[in-house]
Homo-oligomer: A and B are copies of this chain.
Amino acid sequence: MKLKKFSSSYYTDRARINPDGTMKVPEHSTNKKSYKRQRRKLTEALLEAQYALRKAKKGPVLVLISGNDEAGKAEAIYGFYNTLDNRYLNTRAFALPQGVEQQMPHLWRYWISLPKPARLGFYLGSWYHQPQIRYCRGEIDLPALRRQMEEIARFERLLTGEGIALVKLWLQVEGPVKPAGRFASGEQTVAMREWGSFSDADYACVQDSFQLISTLTSTEAAPWITVSGDDEHERDIRVGQIVLQRTQQLLEAGPGKMPTASWQPAPLTQLQQLDYDRKLDKARYKERLAHYQARLRELVRHPAFAGRSLLLVFEGTDAAGKGGAIRRISQCLDPRYMRVHGTRAPTSEERHQPYLLRFWKRVPLPGRVAIFDRSYYGRVLVERVEGFCTRREWQRAYDEINDFEAQLQAAGTLVLKFWLAITPEEQLRRFQARAESPLKRHKLSDEDWRNRDQWPQYEQALNDMVERTSTATAPWHVIPAEDKRHARIQTLEIVCTELQNALK
């Protein structure tokens, strides 16, 4: 739907992004009558925008609220609940990481609780809060803060790239700290303390660290905006205007522009260098299988594994033998602590969320194993080849995936990635065998036959993927799988060796 233009210009032309990336709304005085009128107009425009967001299935819009102690961070949210449709509002407050959160990547808890599309989400104690508070308390040093800010900047780039709007507000109390909002000071402080306050930290350090954080993480798509918390009414109007502006920008945004960097396809060497003739006879296979399975059973029972986790990614053309290779591994694992996740086309709901979200929801907890039978690499394989995502999206995905895996590794997850490779001729033989076997014919679909026609496109996508996502700590293992026995033993062997190294 077309948004009325007046609302956009009327409310937002006073807010401009400064050269340093921050955005500051100029001061102005209000009287009660003009406040009420302004408030009503703003509410109408916000309601309209909230509805348009729902129609367009865009968003969510995430509002991160940081600021000095008692700057009215929670209070700034109430205005939205008073006037907007409460069904599409979602407030989250994150305290110190508890229990399993402490063993998972920093951003995990934020990922798995992302609001659905069309929601307006308010985050108190956002991903900035713990790093800043720990820095102010001297628990982490400047380089550590910088690293965390870089991680956050990549995270936010991903979110905005996936159509999530970010509003990052710093509520600033200029004068001496005073009780704000509708609760008496004492009561409010109790509530605030639950998610961690700066009380013990130095006011100057809070200000300085915010300047640093703002410089490191303000981008065109997600600038930090400072709002004065001194006057409750002015604060509410300004926060409302800023949220409105960002929502309207999101609604007006078309499909992403092409990246300026040129694209260099990888040379087609990955499959050509493979030795497809490697074979194992049945006796040798049985002996090796028993050997490695016994070893794997032992390794996952190693006390050190309780604090680690294992993520196995299996990719490969249809009929490459992924399921069989996976079963030879899952046989060694306690089903209570292991899950095999098939990856199908996203549901209509999942299509409106960041593609990595459903995989973040499935990463293994400490002591557990997750096996992906096809995975997030679908973004740069099937989604690329079939045109299910834009060129910009899949070209961006390589870095996003590397970043995802790096976060898991930093938190103690061993990530192992396997491409099972067969020749087109072998695939044809297996398809024909499947069509004839009562036990396997349901594994063959019309789509499988169609995919065969696009073998060259998949080969290019595979080569690009292996080149761009084989990192030092999570390289691709390209396994010749013409002989199933060989492929199963080689994957098992790699799992055992890598797991043993990781548990040293």
Interface residues of A (CB under 8 A from B): 44, 47-48, 51, 74, 77-78, 81-82, 85-93, 122, 124, 187, 191, 301, 323, 326-327, 330-331, 334-336, 338-342, 347-349, 371, 373, 438-439, 442
Contacts and interface: CB of A to CB of B under 8 A. Distances in A.
A40 to B, nearest CB: 9
Nearest to A331: B82
Listed residue (A86, A91, A187, A334) with the most chain B CB atoms within 10 angstroms of its CB: A86
A335 B77 contact: yes
Given A86-B327, A340-B89, A438-B44, A335 B122 contact: yes
Nearest to A88: B342
9 contacts: A48-B442, A78-B335, A81-B335, A82-B327, A86-B326, A86-B371, A87-B342, A91-B336, A92-B336
A197 to B, nearest CB: 14
A125 B134 CA distance: 41
Given A89-B340, A323-B85, A442-B51, A191 B334 contact: yes
A87 B340 contact: yes
Given A44-B438, A439-B44, A91 B335 contact: yes
B301 A339 contact: no
Contacts of A347: 347-349
A87 B44 CA distance: 49
Contacts of A81: 327, 330-331, 335
Contacts of A336: 74, 91-93, 124
Nearest to A439: B44
A340 B349 CA distance: 20
Contacts of A349: 347, 349
Contact of A341 (B74, B87, B442): B87
Given A87-B342, A336-B91, A331 B78 contact: yes
